[in-house]
Amino acid sequence: MTEYLRIAPRRITVSTVGDKPDAIRALAGTGVQLALSLHAPNDKLRQQIVPTGKHTSIPSILQAVEDFLEAQKAGKKRSSVMVEYIVIRGVNDQIEHAVELRRLLEGKPVWCNLIPYNPTSAGDRYGFEMPDTAQVSRFAEELRKGVAADGKPLKVRARWSTQAAQPVGGACGQLAVKVNASQEAKKR
> From CA 90, how far away is CA 96, in angstroms rounded?
12
For the segment 167-187, the average pLDDT, to the nearest whole number, is: 48
SS3 annotation, 156-174: CEEEECCHHHHHHCCCCCC
Instruction: Give which of 66, 54, 57, 53 is closest to 25, Cα–Cα.
Output: 66
Prediction pTM value = 0.80
Residue 112: strand, helix, or coil: strand
Tens digits of per-residue pLDDT, 70-87? 888 887 777 779 999 999
Tens digits of per-residue pLDDT, 95-120? 999 999 999 998 888 889 999 998 88
Phi and psi based region of residue 109 (left: phi greater than 0; alpha: psi -120 to 50; beta: remaining): beta
pLDDT of residue 153: 61
Residue 148: strand, helix, or coil: coil
- Whether the pLDDT of residue 43 is over 90: the answer is yes
